[in-house]
Amino acid sequence: MQNFIKFVSKAFKIFCFGFVPLMLLAGGSKRNFENSRLDKGTCSFDIEGQSSFHLDGSATFQSKSEVDRFGNKTDKLVLSFITCGERQNQNLEFVIASKTYRNSGVQPGRYEIKSINRLMNNFSGVYGFADMGNISELPFFIKSGSLIITENVSNKVDGKLELRLVNTEGEFLKIKGSFNADIKA
């Protein structure tokens, strides 16, 4: 009987101090797998405002290089997101402009929103708008947030965004989600 109690005691200790911690660690850290679930050329956004909803749609991009009259070269990445819901099309478009120091285009990284209180000439940063016909007849413009490019290759751009937009009447929208943009044909 005493051997049985020792056996049960050891089995219980092994279970509590070996198996349970192993199972707790096996879960690992939480990772965001949103991008890997998206098909090529698609986007998925949660939108909060006067009404909250979810949008899925198509995502395309276009890379451009522009030279101003002073000879300064700027690389631009234009991201376009179009959704076809039951009610109406919604259009979101963002421009990431960065000064060119080498011929490499807009690099992966985090792009913070900058206030624009001047003309767009020689602008470096993120600018964008959203035309959400079912929410407001007025377009929304980026107020704050960030856009993260995780991958930028010749035929695809992956990333995430978390933005706050406002229209001229002071209505706010918060957009959060991810995209896997395909090159615009």
* pLDDT, tens digit (0-9, with 9 covering 90-100), for 69-115: 777 777 777 888 887 655 455 677 777 776 655 556 678 888 887 66
133 pLDDT more than 70: no
CA separation for the pair 116, 166 (Å, rounded): 13
CB count in 10 Å sphere of residue 71: 6
What's the predicted TM-score (pTM) here?
Answer: 0.66
pLDDT tens figures, 75-86: 777 888 887 655
CA separation for the pair 62, 182 (Å, rounded): 9
